[in-house]
Homo-oligomer: A and B are copies of this chain.
Amino acid sequence: MTLSPLAPDRFPDLPVIKGVRFAAVSAEVKYKDRDDVMVAVMAPETAIAGVFTKSATRSAPVLDCQAKLGGEIFAPAVFLVNSGNSNAFTGSAGERSVEEICASAAAVFDVPQTRIFTASTGVIGERLPHGQIINKISDLDARLSPSSIESAARAIMTTDTFPKGASAEVIIDGKPVRIAGIAKGSGMIAPDMATMLVYIFTDAEIAQPDLQVLLGTLTDSTFNCITVDSDTSTSDTLMCAATGASGVDVTDSAGFTQALRGVMLDLAHQVVRDGEGATKFVEIRVSGAASDAEARTVGLSIANSPLVKTAIAGEDPNWGRIVMAVGKSGAQANRDKLTIRFGDIVVAENGWVSSDYSEDLGAEYMKQQNLAINVDLGIGGGLGTIWTCDLTHGYITINADYRS
Protein backbone atom coordinates (compact mmCIF):
# COMPACT_ATOMS: atom_id res chain seq x y z
CA MET A 1 0.00 0.00 0.00
CA THR A 2 1.50 3.33 -1.04
CA LEU A 3 1.62 5.97 1.69
CA SER A 4 -1.15 8.53 1.30
CA PRO A 5 0.18 11.80 -0.18
CA LEU A 6 -1.85 13.51 2.57
CA ALA A 7 -0.08 11.63 5.39
CA PRO A 8 1.64 13.60 8.16
CA ASP A 9 5.44 13.50 8.19
CA ARG A 10 5.58 11.11 11.13
CA PHE A 11 3.61 9.69 14.02
CA PRO A 12 3.36 12.41 16.68
CA ASP A 13 5.01 12.17 20.10
CA LEU A 14 2.14 11.27 22.39
CA PRO A 15 2.33 11.94 26.13
CA VAL A 16 2.17 9.11 28.63
CA ILE A 17 -1.29 9.01 30.18
CA LYS A 18 -1.07 8.10 33.83
CA GLY A 19 -3.04 4.95 34.56
CA VAL A 20 -2.86 3.41 31.04
CA ARG A 21 -0.48 0.75 29.69
CA PHE A 22 -0.37 -0.63 26.14
CA ALA A 23 0.91 -3.70 24.32
CA ALA A 24 0.69 -5.13 20.79
CA VAL A 25 1.42 -8.58 19.44
CA SER A 26 1.11 -10.64 16.27
CA ALA A 27 -1.60 -13.30 16.40
CA GLU A 28 -1.67 -13.83 12.62
CA VAL A 29 -5.45 -13.36 12.47
CA LYS A 30 -4.92 -12.47 8.83
CA TYR A 31 -1.72 -10.48 8.39
CA LYS A 32 1.44 -12.54 8.83
CA ASP A 33 4.29 -10.13 9.39
CA ARG A 34 2.95 -7.43 11.68
CA ASP A 35 1.21 -6.91 15.01
CA ASP A 36 -2.54 -7.34 14.72
CA VAL A 37 -3.78 -7.35 18.31
CA MET A 38 -3.46 -4.50 20.77
CA VAL A 39 -4.45 -4.10 24.36
CA ALA A 40 -4.82 -1.08 26.61
CA VAL A 41 -5.16 -1.71 30.34
CA MET A 42 -6.55 1.09 32.48
CA ALA A 43 -6.24 1.57 36.24
CA PRO A 44 -9.19 0.87 38.56
CA GLU A 45 -11.93 3.52 38.64
CA THR A 46 -11.29 4.58 35.04
CA ALA A 47 -14.50 5.94 33.46
CA ILE A 48 -15.18 4.33 30.08
CA ALA A 49 -17.48 5.98 27.53
CA GLY A 50 -18.21 4.87 23.98
CA VAL A 51 -19.97 5.85 20.76
CA PHE A 52 -20.75 3.19 18.17
CA THR A 53 -22.01 2.59 14.65
CA LYS A 54 -25.78 2.87 14.26
CA SER A 55 -25.76 0.09 11.64
CA ALA A 56 -28.63 -2.37 11.98
CA THR A 57 -26.14 -5.15 11.20
CA ARG A 58 -23.48 -4.15 13.72
CA SER A 59 -20.89 -6.60 14.83
CA ALA A 60 -20.84 -8.86 17.88
CA PRO A 61 -18.06 -6.87 19.64
CA VAL A 62 -20.01 -3.62 19.17
CA LEU A 63 -23.13 -5.14 20.69
CA ASP A 64 -21.06 -6.48 23.58
CA CYS A 65 -19.39 -3.10 24.29
CA GLN A 66 -22.72 -1.27 24.17
CA ALA A 67 -24.15 -3.68 26.75
CA LYS A 68 -21.23 -3.15 29.11
CA LEU A 69 -21.06 0.66 29.14
CA GLY A 70 -22.14 2.38 32.33
CA GLY A 71 -21.40 -0.60 34.59
CA GLU A 72 -19.27 -0.56 37.74
CA ILE A 73 -15.85 1.08 37.50
CA PHE A 74 -13.93 -0.20 40.52
CA ALA A 75 -11.81 -2.75 38.67
CA PRO A 76 -9.22 -2.06 35.98
CA ALA A 77 -10.56 -1.89 32.43
CA VAL A 78 -9.24 -3.41 29.21
CA PHE A 79 -9.55 -2.54 25.51
CA LEU A 80 -8.62 -5.54 23.36
CA VAL A 81 -8.66 -5.04 19.60
CA ASN A 82 -7.73 -7.18 16.61
CA SER A 83 -7.37 -6.24 12.96
CA GLY A 84 -7.81 -8.50 9.91
CA ASN A 85 -11.27 -9.84 10.76
CA SER A 86 -14.28 -7.77 11.86
CA ASN A 87 -16.26 -10.62 13.44
CA ALA A 88 -19.33 -9.03 11.85
CA PHE A 89 -22.17 -11.09 10.36
CA THR A 90 -20.74 -14.25 11.82
CA GLY A 91 -23.97 -15.36 13.49
CA SER A 92 -23.99 -16.70 17.02
CA ALA A 93 -20.41 -17.93 16.51
CA GLY A 94 -19.39 -14.27 16.54
CA GLU A 95 -20.94 -13.74 19.94
CA ARG A 96 -19.22 -16.85 21.29
CA SER A 97 -15.85 -15.56 20.02
CA VAL A 98 -16.36 -12.34 21.97
CA GLU A 99 -17.35 -14.25 25.10
CA GLU A 100 -14.32 -16.53 24.93
CA ILE A 101 -11.90 -13.66 24.36
CA CYS A 102 -13.44 -11.71 27.25
CA ALA A 103 -13.31 -14.72 29.56
CA SER A 104 -9.62 -15.33 28.80
CA ALA A 105 -8.70 -11.67 29.08
CA ALA A 106 -10.58 -11.37 32.35
CA ALA A 107 -8.53 -14.25 33.78
CA VAL A 108 -5.15 -12.97 32.56
CA PHE A 109 -5.71 -9.34 33.58
CA ASP A 110 -7.67 -10.26 36.71
CA VAL A 111 -10.67 -8.04 35.97
CA PRO A 112 -14.38 -8.83 35.65
CA GLN A 113 -15.59 -9.63 32.11
CA THR A 114 -17.81 -6.56 32.26
CA ARG A 115 -14.66 -4.43 32.14
CA ILE A 116 -13.29 -6.03 28.94
CA PHE A 117 -14.18 -4.07 25.79
CA THR A 118 -13.21 -5.76 22.53
CA ALA A 119 -13.30 -4.61 18.92
CA SER A 120 -12.51 -6.31 15.64
CA THR A 121 -11.86 -4.72 12.25
CA GLY A 122 -11.33 -6.27 8.85
CA VAL A 123 -13.21 -8.62 6.55
CA ILE A 124 -16.93 -9.14 7.26
CA GLY A 125 -18.52 -12.58 7.44
CA GLU A 126 -15.53 -14.80 8.18
CA ARG A 127 -15.30 -16.65 11.47
CA LEU A 128 -12.88 -14.97 13.87
CA PRO A 129 -10.03 -17.35 14.82
CA HIS A 130 -10.38 -16.30 18.43
CA GLY A 131 -8.14 -19.11 19.70
CA GLN A 132 -5.15 -17.43 18.07
CA ILE A 133 -5.96 -14.20 19.87
CA ILE A 134 -6.54 -15.94 23.22
CA ASN A 135 -3.16 -17.70 22.92
CA LYS A 136 -1.44 -14.30 22.82
CA ILE A 137 -3.12 -12.62 25.79
CA SER A 138 -0.37 -13.64 28.23
CA ASP A 139 2.24 -12.22 25.85
CA LEU A 140 0.29 -8.96 25.77
CA ASP A 141 0.17 -8.88 29.56
CA ALA A 142 3.94 -9.42 29.73
CA ARG A 143 4.62 -6.55 27.34
CA LEU A 144 2.42 -3.85 28.91
CA SER A 145 4.09 -0.47 28.96
CA PRO A 146 2.81 3.10 29.43
CA SER A 147 4.79 4.22 26.37
CA SER A 148 3.66 1.64 23.78
CA ILE A 149 0.74 3.62 22.35
CA GLU A 150 2.30 3.87 18.86
CA SER A 151 2.59 0.09 18.56
CA ALA A 152 -1.09 -0.11 19.55
CA ALA A 153 -1.95 2.42 16.81
CA ARG A 154 -0.08 0.29 14.28
CA ALA A 155 -1.69 -3.01 15.36
CA ILE A 156 -5.23 -1.81 14.59
CA MET A 157 -4.50 -0.69 11.00
CA THR A 158 -6.17 -2.46 8.06
CA THR A 159 -6.04 -0.64 4.70
CA ASP A 160 -4.62 2.39 6.52
CA THR A 161 -1.38 3.68 5.05
CA PHE A 162 -0.24 5.39 8.25
CA PRO A 163 -0.91 5.03 11.99
CA LYS A 164 -2.94 7.85 13.49
CA GLY A 165 -2.32 9.62 16.79
CA ALA A 166 -3.08 12.98 18.38
CA SER A 167 -2.73 14.56 21.80
CA ALA A 168 -3.41 17.62 23.89
CA GLU A 169 -2.40 18.99 27.25
CA VAL A 170 -4.50 21.52 29.10
CA ILE A 171 -3.76 23.20 32.42
CA ILE A 172 -6.76 23.24 34.73
CA ASP A 173 -6.53 24.68 38.25
CA GLY A 174 -2.78 24.89 37.72
CA LYS A 175 -2.41 21.17 37.01
CA PRO A 176 -1.83 19.48 33.63
CA VAL A 177 -4.45 17.17 32.17
CA ARG A 178 -3.31 15.06 29.24
CA ILE A 179 -5.21 13.45 26.39
CA ALA A 180 -3.81 10.99 23.83
CA GLY A 181 -5.77 9.20 21.13
CA ILE A 182 -5.24 6.72 18.32
CA ALA A 183 -7.45 5.83 15.38
CA LYS A 184 -7.70 3.58 12.36
CA GLY A 185 -9.82 3.87 9.27
CA SER A 186 -9.63 4.70 5.64
CA GLY A 187 -12.51 3.14 3.71
CA MET A 188 -16.20 2.55 4.48
CA ILE A 189 -15.99 5.96 6.11
CA ALA A 190 -19.14 7.98 6.60
CA PRO A 191 -20.96 9.60 9.43
CA ASP A 192 -22.53 7.41 12.10
CA MET A 193 -19.58 6.59 11.95
CA ALA A 194 -16.82 5.15 9.76
CA THR A 195 -14.94 1.84 9.62
CA MET A 196 -13.21 3.49 12.29
CA LEU A 197 -11.80 2.51 15.61
CA VAL A 198 -10.78 5.33 17.90
CA TYR A 199 -9.36 5.04 21.40
CA ILE A 200 -8.76 8.12 23.49
CA PHE A 201 -7.08 8.15 26.88
CA THR A 202 -6.92 10.90 29.45
CA ASP A 203 -5.84 11.24 33.04
CA ALA A 204 -8.74 13.64 33.64
CA GLU A 205 -11.19 12.91 36.41
CA ILE A 206 -14.77 12.80 35.23
CA ALA A 207 -17.80 10.66 36.06
CA GLN A 208 -18.76 8.07 33.44
CA PRO A 209 -22.20 9.56 32.64
CA ASP A 210 -20.65 13.00 32.10
CA LEU A 211 -17.90 11.57 29.91
CA GLN A 212 -20.49 9.66 27.89
CA VAL A 213 -22.55 12.80 27.19
CA LEU A 214 -19.44 14.81 26.33
CA LEU A 215 -18.17 12.13 23.95
CA GLY A 216 -21.51 11.91 22.15
CA THR A 217 -21.74 15.67 21.72
CA LEU A 218 -18.19 16.04 20.44
CA THR A 219 -18.61 13.09 18.04
CA ASP A 220 -21.42 14.96 16.27
CA SER A 221 -19.10 17.78 15.23
CA THR A 222 -15.98 15.68 14.56
CA PHE A 223 -16.20 12.04 13.50
CA ASN A 224 -19.79 12.41 12.31
CA CYS A 225 -18.72 15.23 9.98
CA ILE A 226 -16.29 13.22 7.89
CA THR A 227 -17.00 11.05 4.90
CA VAL A 228 -14.76 9.19 2.49
CA ASP A 229 -17.25 7.10 0.54
CA SER A 230 -20.63 7.42 2.30
CA ASP A 231 -20.43 3.80 3.43
CA THR A 232 -20.95 3.07 7.12
CA SER A 233 -19.23 0.23 8.86
CA THR A 234 -20.70 -2.50 10.99
CA SER A 235 -17.87 -2.12 13.50
CA ASP A 236 -17.35 1.56 14.22
CA THR A 237 -16.19 2.13 17.75
CA LEU A 238 -14.98 5.21 19.57
CA MET A 239 -14.05 4.74 23.20
CA CYS A 240 -12.64 7.11 25.73
CA ALA A 241 -11.00 6.13 29.01
CA ALA A 242 -10.57 8.73 31.76
CA THR A 243 -8.29 7.37 34.48
CA GLY A 244 -8.57 10.31 36.85
CA ALA A 245 -4.84 9.95 37.66
CA SER A 246 -4.20 13.68 37.15
CA GLY A 247 -6.38 14.37 40.16
CA VAL A 248 -8.12 17.13 38.17
CA ASP A 249 -11.90 17.09 37.98
CA VAL A 250 -12.80 18.26 34.47
CA THR A 251 -16.57 18.14 34.82
CA ASP A 252 -17.97 21.12 32.86
CA SER A 253 -14.46 22.36 32.06
CA ALA A 254 -14.53 24.33 28.82
CA GLY A 255 -10.77 23.91 28.51
CA PHE A 256 -10.97 20.13 28.69
CA THR A 257 -13.91 20.01 26.28
CA GLN A 258 -11.99 22.08 23.77
CA ALA A 259 -8.84 19.98 24.15
CA LEU A 260 -10.77 16.72 23.76
CA ARG A 261 -12.57 18.07 20.70
CA GLY A 262 -9.19 19.08 19.24
CA VAL A 263 -7.84 15.56 19.62
CA MET A 264 -11.01 14.07 18.12
CA LEU A 265 -11.01 16.46 15.17
CA ASP A 266 -7.31 15.86 14.52
CA LEU A 267 -7.88 12.10 14.45
CA ALA A 268 -10.99 12.50 12.27
CA HIS A 269 -9.01 14.58 9.77
CA GLN A 270 -6.24 11.98 9.74
CA VAL A 271 -8.82 9.33 8.83
CA VAL A 272 -9.92 11.45 5.85
CA ARG A 273 -6.29 12.08 4.90
CA ASP A 274 -5.87 8.31 4.75
CA GLY A 275 -9.09 7.90 2.72
CA GLU A 276 -8.68 5.11 0.22
CA GLY A 277 -7.03 6.58 -2.86
CA ALA A 278 -7.25 10.16 -1.52
CA THR A 279 -5.06 12.85 -3.07
CA LYS A 280 -6.95 15.93 -1.81
CA PHE A 281 -8.23 16.93 1.64
CA VAL A 282 -11.42 18.96 1.30
CA GLU A 283 -13.19 21.11 3.86
CA ILE A 284 -16.76 21.97 2.89
CA ARG A 285 -18.17 24.89 4.87
CA VAL A 286 -21.86 25.58 4.48
CA SER A 287 -23.43 28.76 5.81
CA GLY A 288 -26.70 30.62 5.37
CA ALA A 289 -28.78 27.44 5.56
CA ALA A 290 -32.28 27.32 7.02
CA SER A 291 -30.83 25.36 9.99
CA ASP A 292 -27.59 23.69 11.13
CA ALA A 293 -29.15 20.36 10.16
CA GLU A 294 -29.79 21.58 6.60
CA ALA A 295 -26.24 22.96 6.39
CA ARG A 296 -24.98 19.50 7.31
CA THR A 297 -27.30 17.88 4.73
CA VAL A 298 -25.95 20.16 1.99
CA GLY A 299 -22.35 19.57 3.11
CA LEU A 300 -22.79 15.80 3.01
CA SER A 301 -24.56 15.96 -0.35
CA ILE A 302 -21.54 17.77 -1.80
CA ALA A 303 -19.01 15.59 0.03
CA ASN A 304 -20.65 12.33 -1.05
CA SER A 305 -21.29 13.29 -4.67
CA PRO A 306 -19.18 11.06 -6.93
CA LEU A 307 -19.27 13.77 -9.59
CA VAL A 308 -17.93 16.43 -7.20
CA LYS A 309 -15.32 14.02 -5.85
CA THR A 310 -14.07 12.98 -9.28
CA ALA A 311 -13.94 16.62 -10.43
CA ILE A 312 -11.71 17.39 -7.43
CA ALA A 313 -9.54 14.40 -8.29
CA GLY A 314 -9.17 15.84 -11.79
CA GLU A 315 -8.37 19.33 -10.39
CA ASP A 316 -11.40 20.57 -12.32
CA PRO A 317 -13.06 23.66 -10.72
CA ASN A 318 -16.40 22.23 -11.82
CA TRP A 319 -18.68 24.38 -9.68
CA GLY A 320 -21.69 23.29 -11.75
CA ARG A 321 -21.47 19.92 -9.98
CA ILE A 322 -21.56 21.74 -6.63
CA VAL A 323 -24.74 23.51 -7.73
CA MET A 324 -26.11 20.09 -8.67
CA ALA A 325 -25.21 18.63 -5.26
CA VAL A 326 -26.82 21.57 -3.44
CA GLY A 327 -29.92 21.13 -5.56
CA LYS A 328 -30.30 17.42 -4.96
CA SER A 329 -29.71 17.58 -1.21
CA GLY A 330 -33.34 18.17 -0.34
CA ALA A 331 -32.42 21.23 1.74
CA GLN A 332 -34.00 24.63 1.09
CA ALA A 333 -31.99 26.44 -1.57
CA ASN A 334 -32.53 29.27 -3.99
CA ARG A 335 -30.47 29.51 -7.13
CA ASP A 336 -30.25 33.30 -7.02
CA LYS A 337 -29.12 33.47 -3.36
CA LEU A 338 -26.39 30.85 -3.60
CA THR A 339 -22.74 31.87 -3.30
CA ILE A 340 -19.92 29.42 -3.98
CA ARG A 341 -16.29 30.17 -3.15
CA PHE A 342 -13.16 28.08 -3.65
CA GLY A 343 -11.08 29.30 -0.70
CA ASP A 344 -11.47 33.09 -1.00
CA ILE A 345 -12.24 33.03 -4.73
CA VAL A 346 -15.87 33.92 -5.42
CA VAL A 347 -16.95 31.49 -8.12
CA ALA A 348 -20.69 31.90 -8.35
CA GLU A 349 -23.16 34.37 -6.90
CA ASN A 350 -26.57 35.82 -7.73
CA GLY A 351 -27.54 32.71 -9.67
CA TRP A 352 -24.60 32.65 -12.03
CA VAL A 353 -20.83 32.60 -12.37
CA SER A 354 -19.20 35.65 -10.74
CA SER A 355 -18.03 38.39 -13.10
CA ASP A 356 -14.64 38.39 -11.31
CA TYR A 357 -14.17 34.66 -11.71
CA SER A 358 -11.96 33.12 -14.34
CA GLU A 359 -11.56 29.45 -15.08
CA ASP A 360 -7.76 29.86 -14.82
CA LEU A 361 -8.12 31.19 -11.28
CA GLY A 362 -10.28 28.21 -10.30
CA ALA A 363 -8.02 25.69 -12.02
CA GLU A 364 -4.98 27.12 -10.24
CA TYR A 365 -6.75 26.86 -6.86
CA MET A 366 -7.71 23.22 -7.44
CA LYS A 367 -4.06 22.18 -7.77
CA GLN A 368 -3.61 22.56 -4.00
CA GLN A 369 -3.64 19.52 -1.75
CA ASN A 370 -5.90 21.13 0.87
CA LEU A 371 -9.08 22.66 -0.51
CA ALA A 372 -11.90 24.68 1.02
CA ILE A 373 -15.27 24.76 -0.71
CA ASN A 374 -17.49 27.44 0.81
CA VAL A 375 -21.18 27.45 0.06
CA ASP A 376 -23.49 30.15 1.38
CA LEU A 377 -27.16 29.46 0.80
CA GLY A 378 -28.24 33.01 1.70
CA ILE A 379 -31.39 31.82 3.43
CA GLY A 380 -30.84 31.61 7.18
CA GLY A 381 -28.22 31.24 9.88
CA GLY A 382 -27.52 27.49 9.67
CA LEU A 383 -23.85 26.46 9.68
CA GLY A 384 -22.01 23.20 9.17
CA THR A 385 -18.62 21.87 8.13
CA ILE A 386 -17.89 18.50 6.53
CA TRP A 387 -14.49 17.06 5.67
CA THR A 388 -13.89 14.65 2.83
CA CYS A 389 -11.40 13.58 0.16
CA ASP A 390 -11.49 13.07 -3.58
CA LEU A 391 -12.54 9.92 -5.50
CA THR A 392 -9.71 8.55 -7.59
CA HIS A 393 -8.57 5.55 -9.56
CA GLY A 394 -6.80 4.57 -6.34
CA TYR A 395 -10.16 4.00 -4.60
CA ILE A 396 -11.34 1.75 -7.43
CA THR A 397 -8.07 -0.17 -7.49
CA ILE A 398 -8.16 -0.78 -3.73
CA ASN A 399 -11.82 -1.81 -3.62
CA ALA A 400 -12.36 -3.58 -6.94
CA ASP A 401 -9.53 -6.00 -6.36
CA TYR A 402 -10.62 -9.42 -5.31
CA ARG A 403 -10.98 -9.36 -1.51
CA SER A 404 -7.55 -8.55 -0.13
Q: Which residues of A contact B (CB under 8 A)?
A: 53, 55-58, 86, 88-94, 123-125, 187-188, 190, 192, 229-234, 304-307, 310-311, 313-316, 318-321, 323-336, 338, 348, 350-353, 363, 391-393, 395-397, 399-403
- In this complex, what residue of B is CB-closest to A321? B124
> Chain copies in the assembly?
2
Give A297 Cβ to nearest chain B Cβ, in Å.
11
B123 touches A327 (CB 8 A): no
Chain B residues with CB under 8 A of A391: 306, 396, 400
B320 touches A88 (CB 8 A): yes
B395 touches A306 (CB 8 A): yes
A399 touches B124 (CB 8 A): no
Chain B residues with CB under 8 A of A396: 310, 313, 391-393, 395-396
User: In the complex, A92 Cα to B319 Cα: how many Å?
Assistant: 18
Give A300 Cβ to nearest chain B Cβ, in Å.
12
Knowing A125-B352, A320-B125 touch, does A305 contact B402 (C-beta < 8 A)? no
Give A237 Cβ to nearest chain B Cβ, in Å.
15
Chain B residues with CB under 8 A of A338: 57
User: In the complex, A399 Cα to B332 Cα: how many Å?
Assistant: 27
User: In the complex, A316 Cα to B336 Cα: how many Å?
Assistant: 46
Knowing A125-B353, A351-B91, A352-B91 touch, does A324 contact B55 (C-beta < 8 A)? yes
B234 touches A327 (CB 8 A): yes
Give A21 Cβ to nearest chain B Cβ, in Å.
34
- In this complex, what residue of B is CB-closest to A91? B352
User: In the complex, A192 Cα to B327 Cα: how many Å?
Assistant: 11
28 contacts between A and B (CB under 8 A): A56-B329, A56-B330, A57-B323, A57-B324, A57-B335, A89-B320, A89-B353, A90-B352, A91-B335, A91-B351, A91-B352, A92-B351, A93-B352, A123-B320, A124-B324, A188-B307, A192-B328, A231-B306, A231-B325, A232-B328, A233-B324, A234-B327, A306-B395, A307-B399, A314-B401, A316-B400, A392-B396, A393-B400
B310 touches A348 (CB 8 A): no
Chain B residues with CB under 8 A of A329: 56
User: In the complex, A321 Cα to B310 Cα: how many Å?
Assistant: 22
Chain B residues with CB under 8 A of A335: 56-57, 89, 91
Please name 15 further chain A to chain B contacts, defined as beta carbons within 8 Å, in addition to the given A56-B333, A89-B352, A188-B307, sorted by A numbering.
A53-B327, A56-B326, A57-B335, A91-B351, A123-B320, A124-B320, A125-B319, A229-B307, A232-B327, A234-B323, A310-B396, A316-B401, A318-B403, A392-B400, A393-B400
Chain B residues with CB under 8 A of A124: 320-321, 323-324
Knowing A89-B348, A351-B89 touch, does A324 contact B231 (C-beta < 8 A)? yes
Knowing A125-B348, A229-B306, A324-B234 touch, does A57 contact B311 (C-beta < 8 A)? no
User: In the complex, A91 Cα to B233 Cα: how many Å?
Assistant: 41
User: In the complex, A402 Cα to B320 Cα: how many Å?
Assistant: 13
